[in-house]
């Protein structure tokens, strides 16, 4: 068993096929990843906690089974975001409050993945409690963008995106409320997939998975877990392994009858595609908008009807900002009362904002959210796919906590620059970021693709066709590049 660097650029789909044919073993892959991490992670700081001893024990257990009983991933190593507890592995949520926490049980996402033959070998960096789209925290420091190490990798699944882009992972988990899967995928030229609420179970699986004051809010429909990878077929492979009902998540859904990898292979072309430069709700950097508009023309080349259109998202700020504040208040109020000095300012602001929300405000927002969802549903009776930029700017300097201004527009808070992502979050529809191209200075830009209600299969199929037409999948993995490089 030795490291084999020739495996690093292979797709996850190819790796799983090699595992199933027993041409390689999970132990070979772990050796390869351990060597790659030692080679490149010092430049980017993506892999903050390694657990190779645990991984090798799990790999040997998997190898003791017949090949046909090794699950959908058959021993494939998977990196897990540091918001998801893994039994026996340090889990911090990016917070100094939990810098030394070691769970005795994994959360339900990890349990499902391991039941399908995933081998967990590392935790990836995240901002504190996943708050903010720049991956830095007081425990591990900042994760930087491998395309230019002076730039942000976005967040909050920044460590996972960077691990994929630098060949330290073939598959990685992420989570998404305000774009936390889609933003880092856009900044790193990889794929981030936000499934429908309930499609992937998430949350503590029971006592010991998380501290009592951080147990989460089971069943909420806004924050979801999802897969990240370098190609669309690989994302489909991981999504197949992530889905399924878990009793710890009351809105989790049973697996669909068909496989997502088969939906990708079916190559179903969307008939009508809507494109929007800004969804009517946010400024967008002109170069980003132009790159995304050119990328969307790939669908015209494929034979789709492409028109400029988007649903009415005009009340998104009232709906999203109110709900986000309520979620933070519910989940973190005790920490504000007892550990305020250890929380970053953005988390404090989000918790405190809820004190201004009345019952009447909540009722107004819930009624507005119902109308919002219905407008999105009606839009997808006409269109099969909505396309827009995944982020409104290219990667920005890593020292900048968030995007404060774009052109003449000053954003009102630290998450408003993510509007183009969370406008989709509140519809409940599946969405993803796929590579759109690069700026004149060589920085990645992502294209957001949005499917209809519960439309994961059709969305993945359309994305795979786009990916083949765009020809950008082979741009990663890369060795981290300095600003001058």
Length of the chain: 485
pLDDT (tens, 9 = 90+) of the chain, 485 residues, equals 589 999 999 999 999 999 999 999 999 999 999 999 999 999 999 999 999 999 999 999 999 999 999 999 999 999 999 999 999 999 999 999 999 999 999 999 999 999 999 999 999 999 999 999 999 999 999 999 999 999 999 999 999 999 999 999 999 999 999 999 999 999 999 999 999 999 999 888 888 999 877 766 777 889 999 999 999 999 999 999 999 999 999 999 999 999 999 999 999 999 999 999 999 999 999 999 999 999 999 999 999 999 999 999 999 999 999 999 999 998 888 999 999 999 999 999 999 998 889 999 999 999 999 999 999 999 999 999 999 999 999 999 999 999 999 999 999 999 999 999 999 999 999 999 999 999 999 999 999 999 999 999 999 999 999 999 999 999 999 999 999 65
Evaluate whether residue 135 is within a structural domain.
yes
Query: Is residue 484 situated within a structural domain?
Result: no
Structure pTM?
A: 0.97
Distance (Å, whole) CA 313 – CA 54: 46
What is the rounded CA–CA span in Å between residue 281 and residue 409?
A: 12
> How far is the C-alpha of 455 from the C-alpha of 379, rounded, in Å?
14
| CA–CA separation, 320 and 425 (whole Å) | 9
Question: How many CB atoms neighbour CB 315 within 10 A?
Answer: 17
Residue 483 lies in a domain: no
Residue 85 lies in a domain: yes
CATH of the domain at 387: 3.90.1300.10
Total structural domains within the chain: 1
Alpha-carbon separation of residue 409 from 281, 290, 390, 412 (angstroms): 12, 19, 19, 9
In a domain, 481, yes or no: no
C-alpha–C-alpha distance, residues 129 and 8, integer Å: 30
In a domain? residue 359: yes
Question: Range of 359's domain?
Answer: 5-475
Give SS3 for 81. strand
User: Kind and range of the H or E element at 175?
Assistant: strand 171-176
Q: Could you tell me if residue 413 is inside a domain?
A: yes
Residue 485 lies in a domain: no
Task: Please state, in angstroms and rounded to a whole number, the distance separating the CA atoms of residues 343 and 335.
Answer: 8
């Amino acid at each position: 068993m030795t490291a084999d660097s020739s495996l690093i650029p292979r797709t996850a789909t190819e790796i799983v096929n090699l595992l199933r044919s027993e041409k390689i073993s999970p132990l070979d892959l772990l050796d390869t990843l351990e060597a790659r991490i030692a080679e490149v992670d010092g430049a980017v700081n993506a892999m903050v906690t390694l657990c190779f001893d645990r991984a090798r024990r799990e790999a040997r257990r998997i190898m003791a089974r017949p090949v046909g009983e090794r699950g959908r991933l058959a021993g494939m190593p998977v990196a897990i975001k540091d918001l998801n507890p893994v039994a026996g592995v340090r889990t911090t949520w990016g917070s100094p409050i939990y810098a030394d926490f070691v769970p005795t049980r994994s959360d339900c996402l990890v349990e499902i993945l391991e039941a399908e033959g995933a081998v967990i070998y590392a935790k990836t960096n995240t901002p504190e409690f996943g708050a903010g789209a720049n991956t830095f925290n007081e425990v591990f420091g900042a994760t930087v963008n491998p395309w230019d190490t002076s730039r942000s990798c976005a967040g909050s699944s920044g460590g996972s995106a960077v691990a994929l882009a630098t060949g330290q992972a073939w598959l990685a988990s992420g989570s998404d409320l305000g774009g936390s899967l889609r933003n880092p995928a856009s900044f790193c030229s990889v794929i981030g997939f936000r499934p429908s609420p309930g499609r992937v179970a998430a949350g503590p699986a029971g006592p010991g998975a998380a501290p009592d004051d951080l147990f989460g809010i089971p069943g909420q429909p806004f924050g979801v877990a999802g897969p990240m990878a370098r190609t669309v077929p690989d994302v489909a492979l991981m999504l197949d392994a992530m889905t399924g009902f878990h009793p710890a998540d009351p809105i989790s859904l049973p697996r669909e009858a068909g496989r997502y990898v088969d939906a990708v292979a079916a190559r179903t072309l969307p008939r009508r595609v809507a494109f929007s430069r800004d969804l009517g709700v946010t400024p967008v950097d002109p170069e980003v908008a132009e790159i995304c508009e050119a990328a969307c023309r790939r669908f015209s080349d494929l034979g789709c009807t492409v028109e400029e259109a988007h649903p009415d998202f005009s009340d998104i700020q009232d709906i999203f900002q109110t709900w986000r504040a309520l979620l933070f208040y519910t989940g973190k109020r005790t920490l504000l009362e007892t550990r305020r000095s250890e929380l970053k300012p953005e988390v404090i602001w989000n918790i405190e904002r809820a004190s201004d929300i009345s019952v009447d405000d909540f009722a107004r927002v819930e009624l507005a959210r119902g109308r919002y969802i219905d407008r999105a549903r009606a839009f997808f009776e006409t269109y099969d796919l909505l396309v827009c930029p995944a982020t409104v700017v290219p990667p920005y300097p890593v020292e900048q906590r968030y995007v404060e201004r774009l052109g003449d527009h000053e954003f009102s808070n630290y998450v408003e620059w993510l509007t183009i992502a969370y406008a989709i979050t509140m519809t409940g529809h599946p969405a993803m970021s796929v590579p759109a191209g690069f700026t004149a200075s060589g920085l990645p830009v992502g294209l957001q693709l949005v499917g209809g209600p519960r439309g994961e299969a059709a969305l993945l199929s359309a994305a795979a066709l786009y990916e083949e037409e765009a020809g950008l999948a082979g741009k990663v993995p890369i060795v981290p590049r300095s600003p001058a490089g």
